[in-house]
Amino acid sequence: MMSEQEKQYIVKQRALGKSFVQIGRELGRCESSVRYAFRHIMDKEPKMDEIIPAMVLGAGTPTTPKCKYCGRDFEKPALGGKQLFCSAHCRNAWGNEQKRRIPYGQVCEQCGREFIAFGNPHKRFCSRKCFADSRKAAQADTCVEVRG
Ligand SMILES: [Zn+2]
Ligand SMILES: [Zn+2]
């Protein structure tokens, strides 16, 4: 088995343009196992192209992922695949923001006009006025019922 350190080394040396044979010689391993390990790493990390330049520049530290919501750098967990957010809070906040941006074409129950409701597929009225009017109308109905 190849150690994590050796794998990192292979990736870094490949990024620097060394051949599998060269790297293998440096690690005291045969070329095919170096090649195999490298391919294995690439399978696990499909975005290696983005990571390699940073590794070369940043002395072996892989890029710190940035939170998609707050933009803060955060520690990527050793296990658990791709993480886009620094915290559950940010993930939820981002999700809510996305939902708020979804436009829903609605028809106002009060005036019958079409309107766009952002992030709310259950919005019933185009405006506060129509909402108020509908409440008044509902109250009026109740009154009629009570009287009748
Ligand atoms: Zn965040
Ligand atoms: Zn309306």
Query: Which ligand lies nearest the alpha carbon of 91?
Result: 1
Q: Degrees (nearest 5) of the Cα angle 32, 36, 42?
A: 145
Query: Which ligand lies nearest the alpha carbon of 134?
Result: 2
Low-confidence ranges of the chain (pLDDT < 70): 45-64, 76-81, 142-148
Residue 148 has a pLDDT of 47
Residue 127 has a pLDDT of 95
Residue 58 has a pLDDT of 45
**Could you tell me the distance, in angstroms and rounded to a whole number, from the CA of residue 43 to the centre of ligand 2?**
55
103: which strand partners? 118
**Could you tell me the distance, in angstroms and rounded to a whole number, from the CA of residue 123 to the centre of ligand 2?**
11
Burial state string for 98-117 with b = 16 or more CB within 10 A and e = fewer than 16 = eeeeeeeebebebeeeeeeb
Residue 45 has a pLDDT of 60
Residue 89 has a pLDDT of 93
